A = this chain, B = another copy of it.
Amino acid sequence: MSVQERKQRERAERERLIVATARELAEEQGWDAVTTRRLAERIEYSQPVLYSHFRGKREIIGAVALQGATEMAVAVRAATAAADGPRARVYALARAYLDFAARNPAVYDALFQLDGGLAYAQEDTPEPLKDAFAALLESLGEVAGDGVDPGLFTEVFWASLHGVATLTRSGRLPPEYTEQRLELLVDRLAVV
């Protein structure tokens, strides 16, 4: 049994290597540069090895996305935990979100822009994704306002942040006034 266990361990280790390398490559040069050939060369295996771990490139993107979701949930919770009062928590959340998107553009793309073959907003949605949304909901639910469903409010707030994040990064919004946009968004959307 021990031999098989060792092999399984090594296999799992290699899978982590693939995901980590894909992520590195994507952050360095963008997802377009993450080709199966380059990725295979970096992990020092041949292309077909990738396909013994993942069905294809899409699944690799999905794996990076799940990793990113977990990290984003951590970042959001850390930021909100350090803030006093509902309003301050929402500010902290918004900053943490946009900061995460700006610092990890490739991961953000994998999560919310590219097709990683993941189910969103359904029963079979992977746990990390559900949890990332839950992390948003924990602080945003406090400021949804009377008669407004906290889930719906969270969706709207999230979508707004997503719009700012993506339009800014693609150069469609000038980056100078991001802070003012954030403040306007929080001031108007959050009910004290």
Contact = CB atoms under 8 A, between A and B. Distances in A.
Interface of A: 112-113, 115, 119-121, 148, 152-153, 155-156, 158-164, 166-167, 170-174, 177, 180-181, 184-185, 188-189
13 contacts: A112-B170, A120-B170, A120-B172, A120-B173, A121-B173, A121-B174, A155-B177, A155-B181, A158-B167, A159-B181, A160-B160, A162-B166, A163-B163
Contact of A172 (B112, B148, B152, B181): B112
A187 to B, nearest CB: 9
Provide the main secondary structure of the chain A interface. helix
Contacts of A121: 171-174
Contacts of A162: 163, 166-167
